[in-house]
Amino acid sequence: MADRQLDVLVICGSLRKGSYNAALARTLPALAPPGLKLRTAPPFDKMPIYNHDIQETTGFPAEANAWADAIRSADAVIIVSPEYNWSIPGGLKNAIDWVSRMKDQPFKDKPVALQSAAGGILGGSRMQYHLRMSLTSVDAILFGRPEVIVTFAAQKFDPQTLELKDQTSIDMIKQQLAAFEKFVRRLQPKE
């Protein structure tokens, strides 16, 4: 019997319209092997800054519940994010903080792959390292290599269409997605 398609949730850490990371995320379906079906995560930008008092009084924000449900229901997650001040953008970290407090913690045992695009020479790799630590703290299972790190992003995307033009990056993405599918399948419970 053929393997069923894996349901993969794609989270983008940038909120801006012209985001290179959002553009990177948009390239993934065309570069993914047929075994992966990618879908976009619901927004996280309206979640208040995490405060235990809010959780105690009014409960989890609706957006945090929707985000958590989307993660729980996926076979795997890909996070595509910029680096802010050598680390994880605050909005993304805040969303992770909210769902980390939930009883049925959505990242537990979830395979996660990371990608980043950034303006500089390190391409968001410091953010990836910090995200790797945070996600390990919530029991996610982090995919290792190949890594997707798009350096000097302004030179790699078409300035008008934001299409990814850099063949090395495209090849790197294809290799990562193919390896990530194998990684996720190895972790699937036997039916």
Ligand X SMILES: Cc1cc2nc3c(=O)[nH]c(=O)nc-3n(C[C@H](O)[C@H](O)[C@H](O)COP(=O)(O)O)c2cc1C
User: How far apart are alpha carbons 171 and 45 in whole angstroms?
Assistant: 31
Least distance to ligand X from the beta carbon of 154, Å?
7
Please state, in angstroms and rounded to a whole number, the distance separating the CA atoms of residues 43 and 139: 22
Residue type, 2: A
For the CB of residue 11, give the shortest distance to ligand X in the complex, in Å: 13
**Of the candidate residues 83, 100, 107, 181, the single one contacting ligand X (CB under 6 A):** 83
- What residues pair up with 157 in beta bridges, in sequence order? 164
- Min dist CB 94 to ligand X, Å, is 14
Measured from the CB atom, is 66 or 122 closer to ligand X? Answer: 122
8 Å CB contact between 81 and 150: no
Q: Is 21 helix (H, G, I), strand (E, B) or coil?
A: helix
Residue of 20, 44, 67, 180 that binds ligand X (CB under 6 A): 20
End-to-end CA, the chain: 12
CB 141 within 8 A of CB 174: no
State yes or no: residue 84 binds ligand X (CB under 6 A).
yes
Which two three-digit tokens encode residue 25?
A: 């995320």
Q: With binding defined as CB under 6 A, does residue 100 bind ligand X?
A: no
Interacting residue with ligand X among 11, 50, 68, 82 (CB under 6 A)? 82
Within residues 24-63, the interface with ligand X by CB under 6 A covers none
Over the window 108 to 147, marking each residue x when it contacts ligand X by CB under 6 A and - when it does not, the resulting string is ---------xxxx-x-x-----------------------
